[in-house]
Structure 1
Amino acid sequence: MYIILQSIGKLLNIIEILILIRVFLNIFNISGENKFMRILYDLTEPIIYPARYLLNILGLNRGMLDFSPWIAILIIRLFYQLLVGVLL
């Protein structure tokens, strides 16, 4: 069971790193036409979209900054902690 949890943890860490790379590349206005950016968006958008939708429902997406990647990372970490708590 420990190996499965460790593997899931590594996968979630990779997803978090991809989300952070996306955030920093957006800060530098890297074009979405770039092949790397398209792949990055395809990998991270299914994770970020639910957080963006949640912020939209709560009416908290009104500013210049997009907090949905940070909410997605928070949800990923909470999910992993709940998983560890249930399985161990």
Structure 2
Amino acid sequence: MDRVAPETWYAVGFFFLLILGPFTIGWGVMKAYRRYRPKTSPAQDESSVSVVSQLSAQRDGFFKLYLLGLAICSPGFYYIYVEYLAHI
């Protein structure tokens, strides 16, 4: 471990952050959106709503959350790459 350059550990941390960071940010944004989104009026609701359609409407997949978080975090990732990892 002592023979490994610090830049290597920066790169390893960056790659873990590249996966976990956007997912966590996207998950938080979707939770906040679901909590504070505008309520729909009762006239727009369907006359019969099944339980399965309600569950699938609230379910978010990994890639939806990841891509939302990646869109938010990409300027920060670009800055980190240019400042710390471009010279490796």
TM-score by length of 2: 0.40
> Is the radius of gyration larger for structure 1 or structure 2?
2
Higher relative contact order (CA 8 A, sep 6+): 2
